[in-house]
Structure 1
Amino acid sequence: MSWNRTKQPAAPDEAVALPYADRAEAGRVLAERLAPMGLNGAVVLALPRGGVPVGYEIARRLESPLDVLVTRKIGFPPQPELGVGAIAEGGEPVFDRGLLDRLGLTEDDMAATVRAERTELDRRVAAYRGGRSLPDVAGRAVVVVDDGLATGGTALAAMRALRVRGPSRLVLAVPVGAEETVRSLAGEVDDLVVPAAPWDFRAVGQWYRDFDQLTDRDVTGWLERAGNGRGHFR
């Protein structure tokens, strides 16, 4: 199935051929879904690293500025790949309280992990944007982009960090996502565009033929391509 919950006319709900060739193709498919929605010039914020090549294609299609919104997963210390929450720059940690309860943990128990992730988040902000601050989104339409939604923890942290900044319209757009996760995020945004939400979703990389791991240099390279280091198509 696909998911297209919008307040504005959107592209026809056509079936998407999976897997995507790569993130660039996924971005172009997503851009065509976003193009009829009156978002030209909206700020496009990609979640690095994987969301940046997707966001590049969207920003180019919408003639919009492209930048990053850095997020970090907060992992269960004995098993860091198990995310119990997430944090986005400028925002507070967002925890999966049900999972914390099942693990017998409190938010206070995660304080050291949160500090470590804030440190890494700050490092990545400096690496990707240097001295530039996060774009001012107050009163502007914002499109948040990632390469997929699995648990949705980082996307949720991103939405809540942005919402308090007062955007006029908050859009979440991803090429593919787990159906349950997509539904759970619908109430956090004004518009949600996900061209594919397969019933047998196990991992984001499952839906790409080329899903290479990206580096910090890859991220800065995409931003430079978008606008000579300013993250803005000219």
Structure 2
Amino acid sequence: MMNSCAVAELTQQINDKISAIRRMLELRTVAKDQDKRNILLKLGRDIIAINGLLDNFEMQVHQQRDMLKCLKELEGFFQEDLRDGQHLKDNMPPHMPRKGMQTVNGVLTQSKQVESQQPQQQNPPKNPHRNQIREMKFITTEEFESVPQYMKGRVTYNQLNAAVQSINTAVTEKYTILQQPAKNMSNAARKLYQRFKDEETKDTKGQFFVVEADIREFTQLKVDKRFHAMLNMLRHCQRLRELRGGGLTRYLML
């Protein structure tokens, strides 16, 4: 890239060459002897040199114009990304975690508040993998748009992900009870534990699932027509599958 000093220097050289040519032409009439002819030959070479400088100058100007055009395009892309980022910041979906927030039982909570509410464990679990409860991933906007309109009805993107959050709450609460030592359970927890075990089959072994009773027990989500419509959408997005048997419909996490 040529700076202003280089351009000024090149311009001065061209002006100097032109001035020299002008003086030589004025002396052309006196170019009778061999010495004067040699000077004229030198003028020819200088003209060729000037043409080369002008070509180089023109090429540099074109390069600078192309570079300026590219920089303006990059600036446009940057401004567009900046606007998209600001739009995402101003329209953050309510189910998305934020800085300083933590998801507990499917609910966004302040991290410090979570730490104060969670009791300190005296002894770490013997098997750290035992407490890993599988939860359903939230639906992306692309997946939501892929759901047929007849299946969506009036369900919005945020409502569907709120249902995902509630199902995750039920899964977490259920399997937290199943993973507790029996001696630490209350009578209510023992009854739930027994119901959970009775609902298991050989096909659910190693799987995480909930039934409608779990949704009613652990969440405020209404088990109605809209709920079942959202379950159809979640099946379409491959978040869960149904397993029927014994008069129950089990919703297995995928």
Question: TM-score range, shorter-chain basis?
Answer: under 0.3
Report which of the two structures shows the higher radius of gyration computed on alpha carbons: 2
Compare relative contact order (CA 8 Å, sep 6+) and give the higher one, 1 or 2: 1
More strand by share: 1
More helix by share: 2
TM-score (ref. length: structure 1): 0.25
TM-score (ref. length: structure 2): 0.23
